[in-house]
């Protein structure tokens, strides 16, 4: 197997860390489903199958410096940027210590002030104009940052998306629009959503480049995102990146995907599992041994167990705080 990471400036250690993130992301997500089915966690919305796109993109960003406006499937993004398993489990259990919102916001509507992660609303696409606005502020203030925002193919068809991209193009803002195209807006397939093959082609209408990338290939995603970051930092404006991915799970814990897609289609797509792909790569390059991989899984299992135990025992939000945070205090 060809060495693909060295040419991108990635060390073996970098690749090992990327692998750890992809493995942890998958394991955390799987555990959240189990907790949901046990009746302990009310809601899951999942990014299984999309992790390589998330980790490859996040790896090109500077945590705590660049601003990140992810969407609800981006567990891999927030774990790569530095949110911890414990923090995310507090979020799942809606506890007072949840750093996202202290239990006010829905799970997976991520935010973290120290890591510059910005929450979004449940109606989709609203984060795109915010990303444009943050990039506009950065340009006005001369800040040396980029803004990265992500969304699904469904969101690509909202008016907000068009307006945000057009505005960013007009002002040549340092923003990266990252579409994780998994082919379905909940149940509605791509062909009923758009008359073009690639969301990325729309970038031409806004005056900036659009790039299509295989979202199961962590290195390619890293490469194109790094290029977009460099363009933005050089003052050359936005980039639209479309990562082609597939969602292995139903839309959310309230969805049964068998109503709109053939389980065989899902099984076929699982053959391109990005976690397995990266595992094969690190094993082939001697970055990790089978034994070390097993140990890693045990470590993460233990870390997740401990986080669940901690979060379950953690205090709920204080009832006397019900009407707090309506206005600034």
Partner 1 sequence: MAQMTYRDALRQALREEMLRDERVFLMGEDIGAYGGSYAVTKGLLDEFGEKRVRDTPISETAIIGAGVGAAMMGLRPVVEIMTINFMLVALDQVINNAAKMHAMFGGQFNVPMVIRTVGGGRRLAATHSQNLEPLLAHIPGLKVVAPATPYDAKGLLKASIRDEDPVVFIEHSLLFSTKGDVPEDDYVVPIGVSDIKRRGRDVTIVAHSRMTVEALAAAEKLAQQGIEAEVVDLRTLRPLDMGPVLDSVARTNRVVIAGEDWKSFGIGAEVAARIQEEAFDYLDAPVLRVNQAEVPLPYAANLEKLAIPDRDDIVKACLEVLHIQIGSPAAVS
User: Hey, which residues does 152 pair with through a beta bridge?
Assistant: 180
Other Cβ atoms less than 10 A from the Cβ of 54: the count is: 31
- To partner 1, the closest distance from the beta carbon of 162 in angstroms equals 10
d(CA 248, CA 232): 32
Q: Does 253 interact with partner 1 (rule: CB under 8 A)?
A: no
Q: Binder to partner 1 among 188, 283, 296, 314 (CB under 8 A)?
A: 188
Q: Which stretch in 121-129, 131-139, 164-172, 223-231 sits in contact with partner 1 by CB under 8 A? A: 121-129
Cβ-based nearer residue to partner 1, 137 or 194: 194
Q: Which of residues 141-160 bind partner 1 (CB under 8 A)?
A: 154-155, 157-160
Residues in the chain, overall count: 329
Q: Which residue has the tokens 């758009």?
A: 194
- To partner 1, the closest distance from the beta carbon of 46 in angstroms equals 17
Burial of 1 (0-12, 13-18, 19+ CB in 10 A): exposed
Burial of 40 (0-12, 13-18, 19+ CB in 10 A): middle
**Among candidate residues 33, 26, 70, the one with its CA nearest the CA of residue 48:** 26
Q: Binder to partner 1 among 8, 16, 106, 266 (CB under 8 A)?
A: 106
- To partner 1, the closest distance from the beta carbon of 284 in angstroms equals 40
Q: Which of residues 41-60 bind partner 1 (CB under 8 A)?
A: 42-43
Intra-chain end-to-end CA distance of the chain, in Å: 58
Residues of the shown chain interacting with partner 1 in the complex, contacts defined by CB under 8 A: 42-43, 94-95, 101, 103-107, 109, 121-125, 154-155, 157-160, 185-188, 192-194, 259-260, 316-317, 319, 321-323, 325-326
């Amino acid at each position: 197997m060809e060495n693909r990471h060295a040419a991108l400036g990635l060390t073996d250690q970098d690749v090992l860390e990327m692998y750890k993130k992809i493995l942890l992301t998958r394991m955390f997500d799987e555990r959240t489903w189990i907790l949901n089915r046990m009746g302990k966690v009310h809601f899951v919305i999942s990014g299984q199958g999309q992790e390589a796109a998330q980790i490859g993109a996040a790896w090109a960003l500077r945590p705590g410096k660049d601003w990140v406006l992810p969407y609800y499937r981006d567990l891999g993004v927030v774990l790569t940027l530095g949110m911890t398993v414990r923090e995310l489990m507090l979020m799942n259990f809606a506890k007072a210590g949840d750093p996202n919102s202290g239990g006010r916001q829905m799970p997976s509507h991520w935010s973290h002030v120290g890591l510059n992660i910005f929450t979004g609303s449940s109606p989709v696409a609203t984060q795109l104009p915010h990303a444009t606005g943050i990039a506009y502020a950065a340009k006005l203030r001369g800040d040396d940052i980029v803004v990265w925002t992500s969304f699904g193919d469904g969101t690509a068809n909202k008016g907000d998306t068009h307006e945000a991209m057009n505005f960013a193009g007009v002002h040549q803002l340092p923003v990266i629009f990252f579409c994780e195209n998994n082919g379905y807006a909940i149940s509605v397939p791509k062909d009923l959503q758009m008359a073009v093959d690639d969301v990325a082609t729309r970038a031409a209408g806004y005056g900036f480049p659009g790039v299509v990338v295989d979202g199961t290939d962590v290195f390619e995603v890293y490469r194109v995102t790094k290029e977009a970051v460099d363009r933005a930092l050089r003052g050359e404006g936005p980039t639209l990146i479309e990562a082609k991915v597939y969602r292995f799970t139903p839309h959310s814990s309230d969805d049964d995907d068998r109503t709109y897609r053939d389980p065989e289609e899902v099984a076929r797509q699982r053959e391109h599992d990005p976690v397995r792909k990266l595992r094969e790569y690190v094993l082939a390059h001697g970055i990790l041994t089978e034994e070390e991989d097993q140990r890693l899984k045990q470590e993460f299992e233990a870390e997740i167990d401990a986080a669940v135990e901690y979060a379950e025992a953690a205090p709920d939000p204080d009832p006397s705080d019900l009407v707090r945070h309506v206005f600034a205090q």
